[in-house]
């Protein structure tokens, strides 16, 4: 039977292969980057209306690319795939064997299908040719019925949108200027370094990557060498499973080595739990802390975290209900009135949070025991470094209660007030936050 061709898609039944091709105005280097950079590929991989999460990307023969795609509206379960690279020829060819995986990242028992991607110069642009092979005609027909080729075609269309965006050099977008460090367990952690002076590491909050703290990082860079980074499961950093909060401390330790062996730490809200855990574990490597409104719940001034919060978030994400996971966080953890949610869903930030919805369970694990409406555990942290805990002058009472509770169990804690600010200041008012942090840490 002759191949069926339409819209750049060829169903080659004689070879049990799907072939899809696209030509882009961007050059080979830039297109290669979009296929091999973990942060870049999350911006276009998958059909329209789907979001991609990269849990691992090691582009070398024998390395793995582990990812999942899920519809943003939660209308279908996530699809998990493990690709093992068999061929990597720089800027010319990628080949990998794909297998579908279950929720525990074990192969689901279906056959692997080899895929090759070639990159060919086409004038000033680049021709990308994808060929996915199947073991028999039945497997090929299943792929056709599942509209796999159409999904590939939509993804390649989305790639065109990324490639048309602003670029810098060496095929990278302006947003991709990140360095990487390898953590103790072999996971790649992406980071950005700016400024000069004493080192400070900015720890981001739940459901955001390093770009979420770009404002405070820029403000601090006037007086510090600032390292902001993509925490595990975010941006261009890896996300091996099962998740273990202790590995995030290892990540910060690796970044401290990048900084020269010692650094101050700063974070806001839910990121403060990890920051305190890291300072306690890393001892003299941490020179000081500036924490803005740790999200502790230590009394009955507001409701505690819901019972079973972590398990419920895991279940929602496993079912592909990422938007529902964001809604659950907003209504049940933050206390946003349900009537505000439809309007919030119209903002582009909602989709960004949905892409990182798996991190709600991650940070929920870290914050266990800190949001139960009970006193903070007296034996969790041992920190000798000076600590500033700042509270906005316009913030809710429970924020000050949490700050004072921390001061009651640790030495060298100073509770500060940032007049005229509320809980959003770490993100929305970075200059006064940085000024206060600067005054405390540099004296």
Which residues of the chain form CATH 3.40.50.1820?
178-300+367-442
Mean pLDDT of 284-289: 98
Which residues of the chain form CATH 3.30.530.20?
4-172
- Is the confidence at residue 67, as pLDDT, over 80? yes
CATH superfamily label, 178-300+367-442: Alpha/Beta hydrolase fold, catalytic domain (3.40.50.1820)
* Cβ(56)–Cβ(238) below 8 Å: yes
Cβ-proximal residues to 73 (8 Å cutoff; 6+ apart), any chain: 49, 323
- Is the confidence at residue 165, as pLDDT, over 80? no
Q: Report the alpha-carbon distance of residue 387 to residue 406 in Å, rounded.
A: 10
Q: What are the backbone angles phi and psi of residue 176, rounded to the nearest 5°? A: -105, 15
Give the global pTM: 0.67
Mean pLDDT of 221-245: 92
Question: Across 150-154, 343-347, 411-415, which has the greatest mean pLDDT?
Answer: 411-415
- The CATH code of the domain at 4-172 is 3.30.530.20
- Is the confidence at residue 37, as pLDDT, over 90? no
pLDDT-derived band at 292 (thresholds 50, 70, 90) equals: very high
* Cβ(425)–Cβ(435) below 8 Å: no
* pLDDT recorded at residue 256: 96
* pLDDT recorded at residue 177: 59
Q: Tell me the percentage of the chain whose pLDDT exceeds 70.
A: 95
Q: What are the backbone angles phi and psi of residue 155, rounded to the nearest 5°? A: -60, -45
């Amino acid at each position: 039977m002759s191949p069926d061709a339409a819209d750049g898609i060829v169903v080659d039944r004689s070879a049990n292969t799907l072939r899809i091709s696209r030509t882009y105005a961007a050059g080979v280097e830039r297109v290669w980057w979009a296929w091999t950079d973990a942060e870049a590929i999350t911006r276009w991989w998958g059909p329209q209306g789907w979001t991609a999460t990269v849990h691992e990307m090691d582009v070398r023969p024998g390395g793995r690319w582990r990812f999942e795609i899920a519809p943003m509206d939660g209308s279908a379960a996530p699809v998990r795939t493990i690709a093992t690279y068999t061929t990597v020829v720089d800027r010319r060819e990628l080949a990998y064997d794909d297998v579908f995986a279950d929720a525990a990242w074990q192969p689901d028992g279906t056959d692997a299908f080899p895929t090759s991607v070639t990159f060919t110069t086409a004038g000033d642009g680049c021709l990308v040719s994808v060929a996915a092979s199947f073991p028999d005609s039945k497997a090929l027909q299943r792929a056709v019925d599942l509209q796999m080729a159409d999904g590939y075609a939509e993804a390649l269309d989305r790639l065109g949108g990324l490639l048309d965006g602003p670029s810098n050099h060496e095929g990278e977008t302006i947003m991709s200027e990140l360095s990487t460090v390898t953590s103790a367990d072999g996971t790649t952690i992406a980071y950005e370094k700016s400024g000069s002076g004493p080192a400070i590491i900015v720890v981001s909050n739940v459901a955001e990557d390093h770009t979420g703290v770009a404002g405070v990082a820029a403000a601090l860079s006037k007086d510090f060498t600032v390292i902001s980074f993509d925490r595990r499961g975010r941006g261009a950093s890896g996300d091996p499973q099962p998740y273990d909060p202790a590995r995030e401390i290892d990540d910060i330790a690796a970044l401290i080595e990048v900084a020269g062996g010692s650094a101050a730490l700063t974070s806001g809200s839910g990121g403060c739990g990890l920051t305190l855990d890291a300072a306690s574990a890393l001892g003299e490597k941490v020179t000081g802390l500036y924490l803005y409104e740790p999200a502790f719940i230590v009394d009955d001034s507001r409701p505690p975290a819901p019972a079973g919060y972590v398990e419920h978030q895991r279940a929602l994400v496993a079912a592909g209900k990422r938007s529902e996971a964001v809604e659950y966080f907003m209504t049940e953890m933050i206390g946003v009135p349900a009537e505000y949610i439809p309007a919030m869903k119209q903002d582009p930030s909602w989709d960004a949070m949905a892409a990182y919805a798996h991190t709600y369970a991650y940070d929920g694990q870290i914050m266990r025991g800190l949001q139960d409406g009970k006193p903070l555990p007296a034996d969790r942290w041992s920190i000798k470094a000076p600590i500033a805990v700042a509270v906005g002058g316009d913030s809710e009472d429970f924020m000050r209660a949490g700050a004072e509770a921390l001061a009651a169990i640790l030495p060298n804690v100073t509770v500060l007030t940032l007049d005229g600010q509320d809980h959003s200041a770490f993100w929305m008012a970075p200059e006064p936050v940085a000024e206060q942090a600067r005054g405390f840490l540099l004296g």
